[in-house]
Amino acid sequence: MEEIKNLIKNQNEEINKLKSENSELEKLIENIKQKIIVFQNKERTIEEEKKNKKEEEKEKIILKNRTKPTNGKDITIYLKNLKGNIYTISINTSEDIKTLKEKLNKIDNNLDSRKIKLIFNYKILENYKFLSEYNLENGNVINIINI
């Protein structure tokens, strides 16, 4: 009888030891998972930066070869985000979309010009194009989308 009690006691101790080891392994696995997530986020950020640099280089080349229109007119336009905020900007139609985004960023620092898209007339406005190319007029509303 004593032998059985000792055997059960030993078995219980062994089970508790295994549970403890299992718990440590689970903590280690969770720690590794967290590190993987951090690494993936860093990797994604690096990829986004590379993509942004490529886009900026492409825009520089395009802008270098374009001539700014001389017959632009001053207009006031409204930019609206999905939260319903409306921003009023006065700008000349000879300016490019990138300049418009920079003006918007000066009004609201949370609107990073590299992380938003502007939509007008069901078209995404390209940074290197001039406002006049989209036939923007006084009072037009442009939608802002965060990407």
Q: What is the pLDDT of residue 92?
A: 95
Per-state percent for the chain, helix, strand, coil, to nearest 5: 55, 20, 25
Q: What is the pLDDT of residue 25?
A: 81
Percent of the chain with pLDDT over 90: 43
Picking from 52-56, 113-117, 128-132, 141-145, which range would have the lowest pLDDT averaged per residue?
52-56
Q: What is the pLDDT of residue 147?
A: 82
Can you tell me the mean pLDDT for 1-27? 78
CATH for 74-146 is 3.10.20.90
Where are the domains positioned within the chain? 1-65, 74-146
The SS3 assignment for 97 reads: helix
Confidence of residue 51 (pLDDT cuts 50, 70, 90): confident
